[in-house]
Structure 1
Amino acid sequence: MDLSRLRVASGAGSGILSAVTRSARSNQLPVRTISLMNSSIRHASNNSGLNFFSAPSLPSNTIIRFVPQQTAWVVERMGKFNRILEPGLAILIPFIDKIQYVRSLKEAAIEIPSQSAITADNVTLDIDGVLYIRVFDAYKASYGVEDAEYAVTQLAQTTMRSEIGQMSLDHVLKERQALNSHITQALNEAAEDWGVKCLRYEIRDIHPPANVLDAMHRQVSAERSKRAEILESEGQRQSAINIAEGQRASVILASEAEKAEAINRAAGEAEGIRLKAEATAEGIRKVAAALEDPKSADAVSLQVADKFVEAFANVAKESTTVLLPSQMSDIGSWIAGGMNIYNQVKDKKTASKPE
């Protein structure tokens, strides 16, 4: 096979690998089998002279050449590195100068095939990803490594297995961004001598075993049931608190209402007693003033007789047994006795007044 045909065929190498990987996955082949198939294809391609990291074909030396933008041509003079042609016009010496390598300076995406990795808690995961790289030194990319793409891919796989081996399953699922950053940093440290810079690495799919996936689903269901029960209990607790606070506020308001009612009732009774006492005192004062009149004795006699008759009538109404005084026929003597008591009180009052 001609070398130029091999290089033309090398342009479809990565497409062949992707097609083989997709076909194997659709047939549900084991991940380890897919990885071995990809490794075999790469090994066969390298032994046959294929270079996936090169352009499909090498340009020939026609003395005057135009180098495309974002492309670096590595020129050897008599089998020894001479210079790197920048984009634009280039003049070569026939039969002496040879364009040995063509490097694209554009960013390239490389598919990292699925592989098995064991976490710190002994869970086997099948993980694949996508690596984004760019050539920043065409000399190192040409002479520092035989196949830069293959080397970076293998390094990404081993680094990913190493990083995952230091993390538990939960951390792998939650910290994918941190895992991507660690893998990118490790790749850049190793690929610097190859003239390649890893811009970023993205984990595409994580496939845990079926039993682990089922356990994760049960864990999620249990967690959701736990949160639902907690929320329900908190709702019942808050409801009981609200009811208790409502009853407490109701009792406090009722007691305050009773207190206000008792205070108002007592104030009313006190006011009534005060008014009644004032009225009684005023009546007594008026009676006393009236008794100062010489003619008041007749009025007092009449009032005493009236009260006696009224009291006797009330006694007769309230009881069926009535005790009558022995001198019932001599009412005048009773009135005279009452007036005598009144006159004695009056005389004592007059005697007690200072002259």
Structure 2
Amino acid sequence: ADVIALRARPSPLVDPRVAGLVAVLCGSSSPEPREDLSEVGPERGQETLGQPRLAALRSLPSEQTMGNLLCCVQVDQSTVAIKERFGKFDEVLEPGCHCLPWFLGSQVAGQLSLRVQQLDVKCETKTKDNVFVNVVASVQYRALANQASDAFYKLSNTRSQIQAYVFDVIRASVPKLNLDDAFEQKNDIAKAVEDELEKAMSNYGYEIVQTLIVDIEPDEHVKRAMNEINAAQRLRMAANEKAEAEKILQIKRAEGEAESKYLSGLGIARQRQAIVDGLRDSVLGFSVNVPGTTAKDVMDMVLVTQYFDTMKEIGAASKSSAVFIPHGPGAVRDVASQIREGLLQASATH
């Protein structure tokens, strides 16, 4: 009779789902036959007993219907549930099975995952040297179990809130740096973003695990220009290295030629010294063996002999470049006289 009176006079303080479930569990004491819930439709003019039952069952999620009917709720691992009583926060339910007396106003307002989540934020900004870049930041965060109520109630959209802070920090940090410096100081930018997020999100029950700047992408034209600049720098370095190598090669070649000429000069000097020694011996021997012969006669004969030897060598060479002086026998006397006069002048000068 009490149940029938409850159905006849519904109170505005009682949840309609609770009233429907009471009707489902207790049934009706009238002798009228039960109706098929699947056949009850909105086209029927009068309200029947099956309509509140069907509405109450359909208002619950299918996977929680049996648990709610038995006043039990399951909370998965790495998840917490927020329990409310008559719309007011009551407690945080840990993973496991919990008893929720729904007829006393207890219900699960929602669940909160404690797993680490990742949010990728792409932000467009400008560097100090007026280059527009797209900075991609990856933020890893999670809700704190001891502040689950703050994480559930204080923020309506956690990802949007984090994204706003990331935009603010990146657009405040990157414009202070040149493009090359931004690439070099990626870790500093990530640290600034992480510090700002940690300071802000800790008040809402969230922990920032790690923040990474995964990419800094300039405009396509800027990247092409940077590649051309790098290519030009490398070509200039290659040209400098090549010129330096050629310089070293020429220096070494000149040193080799100088050393070669020095050694050749030593060889020529020794050769001439040997010739002079041989001529001296020849002149002395000829003077002794031929009475009445003067040193001048012997020298003239030696010069004539050397003259014809030289002419023979020039004629024997197939590709020789030679400048011919008067080659008659009479000219040899003139050459000999010129040599003697030069020696006499040198002796007079000293």
- What is the TM-score when the length of structure 1 is the normalising length? 0.51
Quick check: 1:116 aligned with 2:89?
no
* 1:1-355 equivalence runs, <5 A: 62=68, 63-95=71-103, 96-112=105-121, 114-136=122-144, 137-243=147-253, 246=256, 318-319=291-292
Q: Deviations over 1:293-341 (max 9, x none)?
A: xxxxxxxxxxxxxxxxxxxxx9995139xxxxxxxxxxxxxxxxxxxxx
In structure 1, the residue matched to 2:54 is: none
1: CA distance, partners of 2:93 / 2:290: 144
Structure 1 residues 162 and 315: alpha-carbon distance in aligned structure 2, compared to 1, 3 A threshold: closer
Structure 1: give runs of 5+ residues left out of the alignment: 1-55, 266-313, 321-355
Cα drift, residue 255 of structure 1: 9.4
With 244-253 and 176-185 compared, the bigger mean Cα shift is at 244-253
Cα drift, residue 230 of structure 1: 1.9
Q: Deviations over 1:132-188 (max 9, x none)?
A: 221123222112322212211221122222221222111123333332232222221
CA RMSD of aligned residues (A): 3.6
2: CA distance, partners of 1:315 / 1:238: 59
Cα drift, residue 129 of structure 1: 3.6
Contact 1:125-1:209 at 8 Å conserved across structures: yes
**Amino acid paired to 1:128:** V
1: CA distance, partners of 2:290 / 2:267: 44
What secondary structure sits across from 1:318 in the alignment?
coil
**Amino acid paired to 2:139:** L
2: CA distance, partners of 1:253 / 1:156: 78
What secondary structure sits across from 1:102 in the alignment?
strand
Cα drift, residue 245 of structure 1: 5.3
What secondary structure sits across from 2:142 in the alignment?
strand
**Amino acid paired to 1:123:** V
Structure 1 residues 257 and 120: alpha-carbon distance in aligned structure 2, compared to 1, 3 A threshold: same
2: CA distance, partners of 1:170 / 1:106: 36
Cα drift, residue 227 of structure 1: 1.4
Q: Deviations over 1:104-153 (max 9, x none)?
A: 111112232x4321212222223334322211232221123222122112
Contact 2:140-2:209 at 8 Å conserved across structures: yes
Structure 1 residues 128 and 257: alpha-carbon distance in aligned structure 2, compared to 1, 3 A threshold: same
**Amino acid paired to 1:78:** F
Structure 1 residues 237 and 142: alpha-carbon distance in aligned structure 2, compared to 1, 3 A threshold: same
What secondary structure sits across from 2:135 in the alignment?
strand
Q: Deviations over 1:44-81 (max 9, x none)?
A: xxxxxxxxxxxx99967732223211001111223222
2: CA distance, partners of 1:57 / 1:191: 35
**Amino acid paired to 1:89:** C
Structure 1 residues 94 and 223: alpha-carbon distance in aligned structure 2, compared to 1, 3 A threshold: same
1: CA distance, partners of 2:109 / 2:289: 150
**Amino acid paired to 1:107:** V
Structure 1 residues 217 and 317: alpha-carbon distance in aligned structure 2, compared to 1, 3 A threshold: closer
Cα drift, residue 229 of structure 1: 1.3
2: CA distance, partners of 1:119 / 1:155: 19
Structure 1 residues 196 and 250: alpha-carbon distance in aligned structure 2, compared to 1, 3 A threshold: farther
Structure 2: give runs of 5+ residues left out of the alignment: 1-60, 275-286, 294-350
1: CA distance, partners of 2:151 / 2:79: 13
Cα drift, residue 249 of structure 1: 6.5
Q: Deviations over 1:192-225 (max 9, x none)?
A: 1122222233344434234433432321122111
Contact 1:144-1:193 at 8 Å conserved across structures: no
Structure 1 residues 77 and 249: alpha-carbon distance in aligned structure 2, compared to 1, 3 A threshold: farther
Q: Deviations over 1:210-257 (max 9, x none)?
A: 443343232112211111112212222332444455557667888999
Structure 1 residues 251 and 68: alpha-carbon distance in aligned structure 2, compared to 1, 3 A threshold: farther
Percent of residue pairs identical: 24
Largest Rg, 1 or 2: 1
Contact 1:58-1:99 at 8 Å conserved across structures: no
